Amino acid sequence: MGQLFGTDGVRGVAGRELTAGLAMALAAAAANVLGASQPAHGTAGSRQRPFAVVGRDPRASGEFLEAAVVAGLAASGVDVVRLGVIPTPAVAHLTAALGAEFGVMLSASHNPAPDNGIKFFARGGVKLPDAVEDEIEARLAGRNGQVLEGGRLLSEGLGRAAMASQDLVSQGPAGVPAAGFGRVTDAPGQGERYIAHLLSTVESRPGAPGEPLAGLRVVVDCAHGAASRYAPDLLRRAGAEVIAIGADPDGLNINAGCGSTSLQALSAAVAAASADAGIAHDGDADRCLAVDAAGRVVDGDQILAVLAIALKAEGRLAGDTVVATVMSNLGFRHAMRAAGIEVVQTPVGDRNLIAAMLDGKFVLGGEQSGHIIMLDHATTGDGMLTGLHLLAEVARQHRPLADLVSVMTRYPQVLINVPGVDKALVMSAPSLTDAVARAEAELGDTGRVLVRPSGTEPAVRVMVEAQDAGQAERLATRLADAIEELG
């Protein structure tokens, strides 16, 4: 990937790195790349132009960034269906369901309110391959007269690109597109199509009643984000008694002391309501974490274990295999082995999970952070879908959530981030190799060591798992000290 696109779209501080000018120029570049495949006769009856769906989370900067993106698309001859505030996975689903050439989501996910981001989905609601992101960057760079090398944007990150994009805005439109300017339609009601789709995935399951969550009392924390309007409604319509928290977005409070990055409020609310479980989403609802009736955290590995075992029991776990990243807990791997389920391991990042799932024709994968991908029902991680299926298992089996997740013993895991180091030098140092080998020898089969360079910053990350938390802390600190000495 180039310098604009990160692991999940283009992100930055809104108004500083991610400006209206950059958003408009990036949208125009994306229109030229992603809309180019639209046949002239129009696949949807009389449609002559490509069209895109655009959604956003409720952060305040999304309003001006949405306007900029829509302007860039319409000026480039793309019809726009504006979905309003809606979860990221809903944009992915509706891109496919409405037959759009591509989808755009404005969100910085779990980041604080000052940040924002632009994510693109290709036809069918799938994330863009690296080569397509590079092509968009190259198109953006070419329109701004910057130097290209190997199709990559040579700039000093988002700030430089933001300044360069102002040139494009000041030049005005390049002309009238051959098929005319795009038209803009507001369609906030399309969220109902998404909710109906989610409900259909559990109502059709073997043994599921008409209200698959009937009898459950649930707290859902919407992170004052895109799920605020949708998640409580989804769970109520599935039959649960629902208490919603973090569901009053004001544009500035997204992810602030709530949601999947801060579970204390959810744990307290579950206890206060004597609820059966709690579900937590992040700002754009592509993640799901949970807490049990006692307020104990249930992470993405535990959720993945429950779903994998349930799918295997129903004969619907393709290849009796689940896909997880290198950061998945050792306890997850042991639980899967005990259940007769193979684990395919990938680098960190949901795009790596999806690639491995598509390659192996697997249907379930996920990350410890709560990105769970159920390819039978979605093209990307979907927090609301995940929460719905997790709770449906609780109701179907008539067992507490704590009982379900007891299939997995979570090993103590210590993570240390060592910043400001030369990643290439550190990772090639024989002394670090020796230090890792000594730690692995001490742990034997009772733990695991992972040292990896960060993909987003000049840092090396150390992870040690062990049955004993003190041992994990001691070994992780020793490795972090060795990395700091190497510099």
- Annotated catalytic residues are 109
Taking the C-alpha atoms of residue 182 and residue 48, their distance in angstroms, rounded to an integer, is 10
Instruction: Specify the DSSP class assigned to residue 9.
Output: B
Instruction: Specify the DSSP class assigned to residue 411.
Output: P
Take residue 262 and report the two structure tokens written for it.
Answer: 């801060």
Taking the C-alpha atoms of residue 274 and residue 454, their distance in angstroms, rounded to an integer, is 41
Instruction: Specify the DSSP class assigned to residue 14.
Output: B
What are 53's strand-pairing partners? Answer: 81, 103
Taking the C-alpha atoms of residue 483 and residue 487, their distance in angstroms, rounded to an integer, is 6
* Alpha carbon distances (Å) from 141 to 27, 137, 152, 154, 230: 13, 6, 8, 8, 38
364, 322 contact by CB (below 8 A): yes
Of 166, 142, 239, 233, the closest CA to residue 194 belongs to 233
180, 77 contact by CB (below 8 A): yes
Length of the chain: 487
Take residue 228 and report the two structure tokens written for it.
Answer: 């605020």
Take residue 485 and report the two structure tokens written for it.
Answer: 């000495």
Q: Name every residue whose Cβ is closer than 8 Å to that of residue 329 and which is 6 or more positions away in sequence.
A: 299, 301, 368, 408, 410, 411, 413, 465
- The sheet with strand 241-245 has its strands ordered as 241-245, 217-221, 277-280, 289-291, 297-298
